[in-house]
Copies of this chain bind each other. A is one copy, B any other.
Amino acid sequence: MTPPTAAAVIIGNEVLTAKVRDENGPLLIRRLRDRGIPLRWMATVPDEVPAIAHAVRHARSVADVVFTSGGIGPTHDDVTVEGVSVALGVPVVRLPEIEEVVRRHREGDVSDVVLRLANAPRGATVLEVDGSWFPALGCDRTYMLPGVPELFKLQLEAVLGLMPGVPVVLECLYVSLGEPEIAEALDQVAAAFPDVALGSYPHFKRGLDYRVKLTAEHVDGARVRALVDQLERTLPPGCIVRRERG
């Protein structure tokens, strides 16, 4: 099975105002990468329904599955469920499965405010999460994960467990010339291998033995090797410092 493509929406004024450095986006990037699920787009938006709805709608248009982070608690600034509902064009409803979980967990103290935790876009389903009393919430390929990093991590693993993955093969070539000197060769090779992702990353630090790191990646290792072989033939002679399977 081919893995799905993914997009993500990080929700929170605290991130945009530098009160908290977002760790969920970087974690999501790494874990999707581990599973060979391509991440196509990621946005950070404020705790505002129209901003969330717009971002989720766009994310759903560019990827198969969407992850949101944050804004699903019971306080006034938790408006992710509302934003996702607007994006999906469905009303917010109370989900009996979550209401039951909340009542059990809170042992009776279930004011209206607390029961906001059981709100969900109509059509949402829940997924039990090992190590967490609160389930993960998904609706039509959009997963609403909590912003608290410990909980985000637990729920993310539960959701990823639902998806097929395939590892990506990566090779790196380190070269001693700058980008201007190799750009023409890169153009040629990139045109010959349109299906393989070819990246070029210069650094501007002292004390390294190379000037640009080139990367090639694809699910098919043979395509990656073929591209890097052709790079070795096409780049100016003598500029290759080393080749690495990364």
Contacts and interface: CB of A to CB of B under 8 A. Distances in A.
Contacts of A151: 204
A19 interface: yes
Secondary structure at chain A's binding surface: helix, strand, loop or mixed?
mixed
Interface in A139-194: 148, 150-151, 168, 170, 179-180, 182-184, 186-187, 190-191
Interface string A110-131: 0101101100000000000000
Contacts of A113: 180, 183-184, 187
Interface in A1-30: 13-22, 25-26, 29-30
Interface of A: 13-22, 25-26, 29-30, 32-33, 38-46, 51, 54, 58, 62, 73-77, 106, 109, 111, 113-114, 116-117, 148, 150-151, 168, 170, 179-180, 182-184, 186-187, 190-191, 197-205, 215, 217
A168 B13 CA distance: 14
A33 B20 CA distance: 12
Given A113-B180, A190-B76, A201-B14, A43 B46 contact: no
Given A14-B201, A16-B39, 10 more contacts: A17-B197, A19-B170, A40-B51, A51-B62, A73-B202, A75-B182, A76-B198, A111-B180, A150-B205, A151-B204
